[in-house]
Copies of this chain bind each other. A is one copy, B any other.
Amino acid sequence: MNVLIVYAHPERRSLNGALNDFAVERLRANGHTVQVSDLYAMEWKATLDARDVRERETHAPFHPSLDSKHAFENGLQSRDIEIEQDKLRWADALILQFPMWWFSMPAIMKGWIERVYAYGFGYGNGEHSDTHWGDRYGEGLMQGKRAMIITTTGGWETHYAPRGINGPIDDLLFHIQHGMLFYPGFDVLAPVVVYRTSRMDEARMRSLRETLGARLDSLFSDEPIRYRKQNAGDYAIPALTLRDEVAEGESGFGAHIA
């Protein structure tokens, strides 16, 4: 199978760099073909702006989504965006690997999402009717592909526990896992999270390689998170709220998992 790893860390001689090398080797040893988009090494342009559209009428106001639609439909996207879109078309699985900075992905990776997920590619697809509100949340161009996060944090596991001060890790990652991965159609696997990175020693590294290795071995067989599909009956359309009889009395992120 084809695996794309989008990787964001400014220093290859780091824990993240070591985990990236390990993941590539392990996936290849398992017979997969691997491409890495090393965003820092590529000097990825993080900022979405009018320069992302080729042959643009420069006096017209720039509209992030409409300009993106125009560029995507007419083959006028910046070349670096097209290359990444081709990698996503090619991939059977996407891995986002990053250090958690301020409870989200680094800016350079956020900019990869913003620019590569063009209107017509990452969003804006499908009909809007009484029973279908666009191809998203379980449908879309990434349908049939898998996605997984590998992330590291300096904080302790208890700080990210259900009653931990940072908030539960699954809730913190929801805007990525549900909002950026399930949205365009990926089946999302549980994340691999490495805590307390400043206290890494050889014993922990060994155990981490074992855990990560096992997760990579089952990348194409693990059961994805059971996020509810938007157009499969659980949501009222167009309000897109859960129907009364679904997850009755529940609210918040957890209610969107069946």
Residues of A at under 8 Å CB distance from B?
10-11, 13-14, 40, 44, 46-50, 61-65, 99, 101-104, 106-108, 110-111, 113-114, 117, 137, 154, 156, 158-159, 161-168, 171-172, 174-175, 178-180, 183, 230, 235, 238-242, 247, 250-256
Contacts and interface: CB of A to CB of B under 8 A. Distances in A.
A103 B256 CA distance: 16
A168 B64 contact: no
A118 B70 CA distance: 39
A179 B103 contact: yes
A113 B102 contact: yes
B167 A174 contact: yes
Given A107-B107, A107-B111, A110-B110, A10 B48 contact: yes
A245 to B, nearest CB: 12
B106 A239 contact: no
Nearest to A251: B162
Nearest to A110: B107
A104 B65 CA distance: 16
A47 B158 contact: no
